[in-house]
Amino acid sequence: MTDLERAKRILKEEDKSLVIVKNGRIIFCSESPGIKGILEAIEKLGERLSGASAADRIVGKAAALLLAYSQIVKVYAITLSRSGLYTLRKNSIPVEYDYLVPEILDKNKKDICPFEKFTSDIESPSLAFVKLKAYMENLQKSKKT
């Protein structure tokens, strides 16, 4: 079983939102929604993510940029946006998916996901990481007040 197959199986069987596997070992699992799990993986594992495979429930452009930043080599998404697909391909990351959608919607399914809007003009994975990390920190601070 490949790393991607293992990550995909665990994602579905254990109802995770993100699973990262490297050299046959699970190196990260998350149930956090949105891009929070990927940001947590980057903070916790850093360069150890390089060469790993990731399975994620939803991958839009923001998630794709973060996966590229972390040097993930293969991705599976249950739902993938067109901009996420373009971003992964642009960064030479093979991707498998179940559903391709025009865009990722917010929790209320009324508008485009705020992280998708935020990264609409960003092409650099490293710039995306810096900006998304700061954006997420600001969101968390505003929720506490």
Phi-psi region of 135 (alpha: psi -120 to 50; beta: other; left: phi over 0): alpha
**Domains of the chain (ranges plus CATH)?**
3-144 (3.40.140.30)
Q: Which residues contact 108 (CB under 8 A, 6 or more apart)?
A: none
Flag whether the pTM goes above 0.85: yes
* pLDDT tens-place string over residues 10-52: 999 999 999 999 999 999 999 998 899 999 999 999 999 999 9
SS3 67: helix
* pLDDT tens-place string over residues 106-145: 889 899 999 999 999 999 999 999 999 999 888 877 776 5
Rounded to the nearest angstrom, the gap between the alpha carbon of residue 135 and the centroid of all alpha carbons in its chain is: 16
> Tokens 């190196």 sit at which residue?
27
Contact (CB, 8 A) for 3 and 19? no
